Chain A
């Protein structure tokens, strides 16, 4: 089954304790990205990756790191989590271009989300 898998689904941690949220897709998608979702603010992009070894900042990258060593995996790393990073996180992937329609984007496929609480 084609899917984006995030782990863990729920995570409670303390300030300053490094953590990693994993994201893996089995659809051979070039593009992967991370979002945080907070009430009233919608989905805000943290980082994105256009392909292996290519990553770039989104709108809210402070306090986060990512890596893209393999096409299928795109982990989100919080080196020193703080309470303001308490949020719902989503990973998403897509083809860079719609097959047969090279001028257009392809839709995003989201993971099931990770609810992070930092105390």
Chain B
């Protein structure tokens, strides 16, 4: 099955700085790469995803980059704000074997003013 590792486990950044979280996976057939954000006491919600036919996707201050050769994808948050403080999860998947899904262990991001 898929082996998913996420680094770092915690990340403290100054407001306005950038944050980068990396997700490494083992299944070379994975072709869907989402990032979920979970604020304290809330449910996880999709913030951005990428499919393996593209290498990068941006949505305002967040972006996801994919390196299929090295089997990792990263979440980039620029100009961080206090509302970016949350736990972020990756969950790579493949459409032909969608059922069983593994999440990364999560990254706690703390943005300090």
Contacts and interface: CB of A to CB of B under 8 A. Distances in A.
Interface of A: 31, 33, 35, 40-45, 48, 50, 56, 58-59, 90, 96-97, 101-105, 107-108, 110-113
Contacts of A96: 98
Contacts of B106: 42-43
A90 B42 CA distance: 10
Contacts of A104: 31-32, 51, 95
Interface string B5-40: 010000000000000000000000001101010000
Nearest to A45: B101
Interface of B: 6, 31-32, 34, 36, 42-46, 49, 51, 89, 91, 93-95, 98-106
A8 to B, nearest CB: 15
Q: Chain B contact residues: over half helix, strand or loop, or mixed?
A: loop
Nearest to A39: B106
Contacts of B103: 35, 42-45
Nearest to A59: B102
B101 to A, nearest CB: 6
Give the 4 A-B residue pairs with the shortest CB-CB distance, closest first.
A110-B43, A42-B105, A105-B32, A107-B46
B51 A107 contact: no
A111 B94 contact: no
A59 B36 CA distance: 20
B34 to A, nearest CB: 6
A105 B95 contact: yes
